Amino acid sequence: MEYCPLINKAEYHSSYNIGERLIAISMDNIPVRGAVQYKYVVMVWDKVSKKPVYFITSESSPFNKGLQFLGVFEEGPFTHGNLGASDIWKNQDSFIAEAFDIIEEKFEEKILEIKSENDIKKSKEILECWLNHRLR
C-alpha cells in the first residue's frame, strides 16, 4: 500500500487471524507525526504478499475541533475514507469491536484472537518490521 497512516512508532496491543491468509494487528501509543493523531490503528497484513492491505484508524487533528474519526485506508492511490466522528472511537475496546465488524464484512472472514506465544511473537515482529520499513 502506498497511501497509509503516517506512523513510524507504535506499541503492539493484540493480533487476530482473519481466515488463513490475513492477520489483524492492533496498535496504540502512537506518537504524533504530522497533523493527524492516530489514537488506535488496526493493520490488516497479508501473510503471502508480506504487506499491509487495509487499515482502520481512530484519528483526530487540530482542524476537527477535538472530534475522533473512524478512518479507513484501502489499496489504491490515495484511498482514505472517513466513516464518521464519535467519542466512542476514543475507547479502545469500542474502536476494536467496530474495526472487526468492518473487517469481517470486507474480507468475508471471521476474526479469531491469536493466543499462542509463538504467533504473538510473529505478529510483533511483523509490526516492528513494517514500522522500521516506514522509517526509510
Q: What is the pLDDT of residues 15-74, one digit of tens each?
A: 999 999 999 999 999 988 778 899 999 999 999 999 999 999 999 987 877 789 999 998
Nearest to 56 by CA among 118, 113, 128, 107: 107
Rounded to two decimals, the pTM is: 0.92
Nearest to 64 by CA among 40, 92, 85, 41: 85
